[in-house]
Structure 1
Amino acid sequence: MLAKSLVLFIGIGLIAGLVFGIYLIDVKSNSQLVYVEGSSVSIVTEKSDFKKNEEINIRIVNSGTTSLIFSDASYGLRITGLSGILMYTPSAAQVVSSLEPGDEISFSWDQNKNDGDVALEGLYKISVKGMDELKNKVENSITVAIWK
């Protein structure tokens, strides 16, 4: 017969795992694209978990009702580790770019860093920064995971 404390700890573990699993399903199912009144930018990927060496398609969408202005042709796109260390940014001309309400631009990342090394498994933050017509900062970010 099992000790009462062992049964208790296994029961607590099962309940905690169930609650955490339901929480993660709820977090993962949140829509990345929500249209709002005013200034807003959204980052959309086809999923949040990617296999190693799988191409990641990224859509930057003006999900607001005002025009957005970006300082270069990369539309302020940056991919960093969770620690903030820059991993990748598209090479782009230094021209001012803009997105009208509802417009979008697409980029793809082959999981290679700017220095040519391949990104390791882990969590990465994809972020975008721009300005609206009144020079207010408009930014957004999402987190994606790269697994084996």
Structure 2
Amino acid sequence: MCNKKRNRLELILVLAIFFVIAGVISPRAIQADSGAKFSVSINNNSQQIDPQLPYFNLNMQPNSETNLSLNIYNRSKKAAKFTVWANKAITNNNMIIDYSARKITKSPNLPSTLNIYKMISPKVQNIQVPANGTKKIAFKLKMPDQQFNGGY
């Protein structure tokens, strides 16, 4: 009887090893993540310092206005909804520009007149971009009354 238990245990062990090996070497369909299903690009205007930059770097006079626009490209096979707003950037602890903090405490080096939420309109835009389509959105930027150095 001891031999029967031993044989049964060996059989279970062999079957377990077989299933593990079969699971490891069997072919599986693997799909790579195709990344973000959208992208954004700016449209340069006459205030842009370097038109080759992929972000706005503007030279404007105090109390002047300009229109800023971006294109949102939807690479998805379905229409997509986006909520778009201006956001402050910070340099995080890893020295990487970070746009994730919606509410940022005031920087001691930044004048109180430089509040992006007061300088840009509309504040928020909700848009829908068709599948594999593009939508242009526009904002108006109004500079504060006082001149400032953009290197803050």
Q: Which of the five TM-score ranges fits, normalised by the shorter chain? A: 0.3 to 0.5
TM-score using structure 1 length: 0.38
TM-score using structure 2 length: 0.37
Between Structure 1 and Structure 2, the one with more strand by share is: 1
Q: Which one has the largest radius of gyration?
A: 2
